Amino acid sequence: MYTVNHYDDFAALVLYAATMYDQSPDDLEPLPDSRIEDDGWKLKAYIYSIGYDLIGENRNKFITVDKDTYFGYIAEKIDNSGEYVITLRGTRGFAEYIEDADMDYKRPWPDTPSQKVCDGFHTIYQSLRLIVPDNTTDIDYSQLALADAIAQFIGEDAYYTISGHSLGAAMGTYLMRDIYDKPPHGRFCSFASPRTGNNEFVTYVNEHFRDSAVINFVQDVVPIYPIFAEQLPSVVHIYPRDDVIITDTMTDTITCHHTILTYLALLNKYKFFDVVNANIPVENQTWNKCLQVTWDNDTESNQSKVNTK
């Protein structure tokens, strides 16, 4: 069963995934953020990408990324064995920005050739693999596609929530497509997701993985791109608040409206203050650049729950 059901809880867990990368960008198994355990979870596995080719507008390969890179983690609820969260961080690094900009379609699934997805996002998704540090089985999870590795690792009786931000949200959408018929008790809670595929794709995912929420801030421009693609129909919009002032300058507006810290503040400012109380320099830099959050205003929050079907 599920015991964690609020959007802000998952926004915080995704933030920790990004901060772990920012603090140790060359480490495939960065030290777990202590707030993961403070929030009641135990990190069990890491998600990373292997090398992939970046594709240019002329459809020719112009750079090969051969460096493995950490992208997220899987954690299990400490007081509820068998409940997992699968986190995928947002975009980091020049190569990932280039790949995000590759907006052509591809058809990854031969059994459903009408389904088309965004090539750049899906290329990175296809490169994702799983590391299980305390692996006591004879399974080499790193040799399996991510959905198969996760399914074998958590088991068919597990309850799991896939959660990601930005690029991680897009890749989480593709993970939904690949894992829905494996462990059956799955949910999806994403933040600031770009559009991920054509109508046939998002309709199929929605029909086969019905418990999902795509949380998008109405002033964030990223979720409207690429303009030729579609979003899942389960979009939940969050709106500006008087007690959360977001930087509005020519150089910072897009970034500040899109960062996961902004989403967390808009969802639940008290959770935001609890999280940033850890005084992490990279998070403080984003906070100082992007946000003015008032503590004592009683403005109603955007807080809501993930479905618990």
Give per-residue burial for 19-47: e unless 16+ CB within 10 Å, then b: bbbbeeeeeeebebbebbeebebebbbbb
Q: Are 135 and 178 in contact (CB under 8 A)?
A: no
The predicted structure's pLDDT at residue 63: 56
Q: β-strand 61-65 against 52-55: which pairing, if any?
A: antiparallel
The predicted structure's pLDDT at residue 304: 52
Q: Are 39 and 67 in contact (CB under 8 A)?
A: no
What are the Cα distances from residue 222, in Å, to 194, 205, 227?
6, 21, 10
- Encoded tokens for 258: 């899109």
Percent of the chain with pLDDT over 90: 72
- Encoded tokens for 182: 């494996």
The string of DSSP codes covering 174-203 is: HHHHHHTTSSSEEEEEEESPPP-B-HHHHH
CA dihedral (201, 206, 207, 211) in degrees, to 10, reads 150
The predicted structure's pLDDT at residue 248: 82
Quick check: 86 pLDDT over 60?
A: yes
Tokens 């050739």 belong to residue = 113
CA dihedral (48, 95, 217, 4) in degrees, to 10, reads 10
**pLDDT digits over 116-130, tens only?**
999 888 989 999 999
Q: Which of 98-112, 211-225, 240-254 has the weakest average pLDDT?
A: 98-112
Contacts of 100 (CB under 8 A, 6+ apart): 91, 120, 121, 167, 194
Q: β-strand 41-49 against 244-246: which pairing, if any?
A: unpaired
Quick check: 308 pLDDT over 50?
A: no
Mean pLDDT, rounded, of the chain:
89
The structural domains of the chain, with segments of one domain joined by +, span 7-293
Distance CA 179, CA 108 (A): 14
pTM: 0.92
Mapping DSSP to helix (H, G, I), strand (E, B) and coil, where does residue 281 land?
Answer: helix
Report the top-level CATH class of 7-293: alpha beta
The predicted structure's pLDDT at residue 259: 92
The predicted structure's pLDDT at residue 57: 46
Q: β-strand 291-293 against 244-246: which pairing, if any?
A: antiparallel
**pLDDT digits over 95-152, tens only?**
445 445 557 899 999 999 999 999 888 989 999 999 999 999 999 999 999 999 999 9
Of the pLDDT bands very low, low, confident and very high (cuts 50, 70, 90), residue 181 is confident
The predicted structure's pLDDT at residue 309: 39
Quick check: 59 pLDDT over 70?
A: no
The predicted structure's pLDDT at residue 102: 56
Of the pLDDT bands very low, low, confident and very high (cuts 50, 70, 90), residue 77 is very high
Quick check: 1 pLDDT over 90?
A: no
The string of DSSP codes covering 10-69 is: HHHHHHHHHHHHHH-TT-SSPPPPHHHHHTTEEEEEEEEE--EEEE-TTS-EEEEE-S-E
